[in-house]
Structure 1
């Protein structure tokens, strides 16, 4: 484990602070949604079929390939988006986050996606 020594604490702090600027987790999203403190729009970026089969309650379906300015026109420019896809084996959330960032929109990825949500013991909603 220490064959490669850990980074100096100041570098580790910068690294982990940066991660938290890009990512959030299922528990934090669930807490915000269930306490009414969500200050973000949760986007399920999978296909409409997968969304209908089971999605995070409160999520809006916008497949990553459809993230264009026209489809975001109803959201003020400062709206924070949190995106998720199927799980760690899927890069749809990364593609969505990249599209949103390139459109100048603030974005974070919910790590774990649907798989993480279920692993935490949270229920999905069907359409």
Structure 2
């Protein structure tokens, strides 16, 4: 029997399966949703870069605040407004720093989601990154979606 088919839920399990996916959506978001919210200027959105400070300084999502999971308990109230919504991210899919920071925010009662794919997926999609040189975009990785015909002004390859 196929390994994929073997793992399929039974027809009567549809509610439980849907609930599991709903639970994942309640705690995760993706780079496209975060980019859209940033572009729309969603009020109270706080982006937390949970990588080491040196990495944040090298490049981060526009407006992201550096904060390691270990400092969430002491720094969250100073950074996140009472009505704020937190999105955390780490390096990429194999990094759990965004998960650890999100857990700490959740323990403090903040509405929080972790951005799937982290900084890596953000950069690979060609989304804007704040660096010491200003706001830059990388040329999108063709493995992540359509690539424009030519780079926009100021883009780097």
- TM-score, structure 1 as length reference: 0.88
Larger Rg: 1 or 2? 2
Unmatched tracts of structure 1, length 5 or more: none
Q: Would you say 1:3 and 2:32 are equivalent positions?
A: no
1:35-84 deviation per Cα after TM superposition (whole angstroms, max 9, x unaligned):
2235421101111100011101121111222112x312233444221100
**Partner SS, residue 127 of structure 2:** coil
Instruction: Tell me how many residue pairs correspond in the alignment.
Output: 126
| Equivalent residue, structure 1, for 2:77 | 73
Distance 1:104 1:37 in 2: 20
| Equivalent residue, structure 2, for 1:114 | 119
Spell out structure 1 runs of 4+ moving beyond 6 A: none
Distance 1:10 1:85 in 2: 32
| Equivalent residue, structure 1, for 2:69 | 64
Where relative contact order (Cα < 8 A, 6+ residues apart) is larger, the structure is: 1
Change (3 A) 1:38 1:16: farther
Q: Are the counterparts in 1 of residues 47 and 88 from structure 2 also a CA contact under 8 Å? A: yes
Unmatched tracts of structure 2, length 5 or more: 133-157
Structure 1 vs Structure 2 CA RMSD: 1.7
Q: Would you say 1:85 and 2:129 are equivalent positions?
A: no
Q: Are the counterparts in 2 of residues 32 and 38 from structure 1 also a CA contact under 8 Å? A: no
Distance 1:118 1:79 in 2: 25
- TM-score, structure 2 as length reference: 0.73
